[in-house]
């Protein structure tokens, strides 16, 4: 996303109160909308990305599979597909999980607020390194969670909250599949 693109500004209740450029919104530390995407493969592993050192926020830290701001001209779902394609190179079907107020420390200790819409997707393709991402690594989600807890300084500040939500969503999908398989195996 370009810093000159127009995004929505939100009040404390998540209501859109206006629009402005991304640069202005970030400089004034307004609450804005963003999308968060976790991509899992069929083995249950999840992709994380290494942010380039030239990123304005959290350079050189590990981040979720894809994320970014929502433009005023697009829906959250459209933004999730766009950010996934831009950052991973993948065209993935995405499943909406939840929208929540994501509050986390900024680079200078200030409080950042995002109305975050979380999505999960599944693909056995490998994401492609590009200008937006320095590296990708796939992890077993439980091992990743343990690594984050022991190495918080290597990850963006909101990582563990977002990962937990994505892991719960995948677990819910797996439970639903198991129930469906059990229900279809029961004779009438």
Q: What is the pLDDT of residues 15-70, one digit of tens each?
A: 999 999 999 999 999 999 999 999 999 999 999 999 999 998 999 999 999 999 99
What three-state secondary structure class fits 149?
helix
pLDDT of 12: 81
pLDDT tens-digit series, residues 77-86? 999 999 999 9
Map 28-85 to HEC letters: CCCEEEEEEEEEECCCCCEEEEECCCCCCCCCCCEECCEEEECECCCCHHHHHHHHHH
Instruction: Note whether 87 and 66 are within 8 A (CB).
Output: yes
Task: Give the separation between CA 106 and CA 27, rounded to whole angstroms.
Answer: 12
- pTM score, whole prediction: 0.90
- Mean residue pLDDT of the chain comes to 92
Instruction: Tell me the HSE value of 170 on the side-chain side, using a 13 A CA sphere.
Output: 22
Domains of the chain: 6-185 (3.90.79.10)
Radius of gyration of the chain (CA): 17
Q: Is the pLDDT of residue 113 over 80?
A: yes
Q: Are strands 111-122 and 32-40 parallel, antiparallel or unpaired?
A: parallel
What's the pLDDT score for residue 184? 52
Q: Is 19 exposed, middle or buried (0-12, 13-18, 19+ CB in 10 A)?
A: middle
Closest CA relative to residue 59, chosen from 159, 162, 154, 130 = 154
């Amino acid at each position: 996303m370009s810093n000159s693109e127009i995004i929505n500004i939100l009040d404390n209740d998540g209501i859109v109160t206006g629009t402005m450029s991304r640069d202005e919104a970030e400089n004034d530390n307004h609450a804005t909308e963003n999308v968060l995407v976790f991509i899992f493969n069929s083995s249950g592993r999840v992709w994380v990305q290494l942010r380039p050192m030239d990123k304005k926020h959290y350079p050189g830290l590990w981040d979720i599979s894809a994320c970014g701001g929502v433009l005023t001209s697009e829906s959250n779902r459209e933004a999730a597909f766009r950010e996934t394609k831009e950052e991973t190179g993948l065209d993935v079907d995405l499943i909406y999980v939840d929208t929540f107020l994501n509050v986390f420390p900024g680079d200078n200790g200030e409080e950042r607020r995002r109305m975050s819409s979380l999505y999960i997707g599944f693909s056995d393709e490998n994401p492609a390194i590009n200008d937006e991402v320095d590296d990708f690594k796939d992890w077993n989600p439980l091992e990743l969670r343990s690594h984050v807890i022991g190495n918080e300084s290597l990850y963006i500040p909101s990582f563990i909250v977002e990962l937990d939500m994505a892991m719960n969503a995948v677990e819910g999908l797996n439970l639903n599949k198991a129930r469906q398989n059990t229900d279809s195996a029961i004779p009438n």
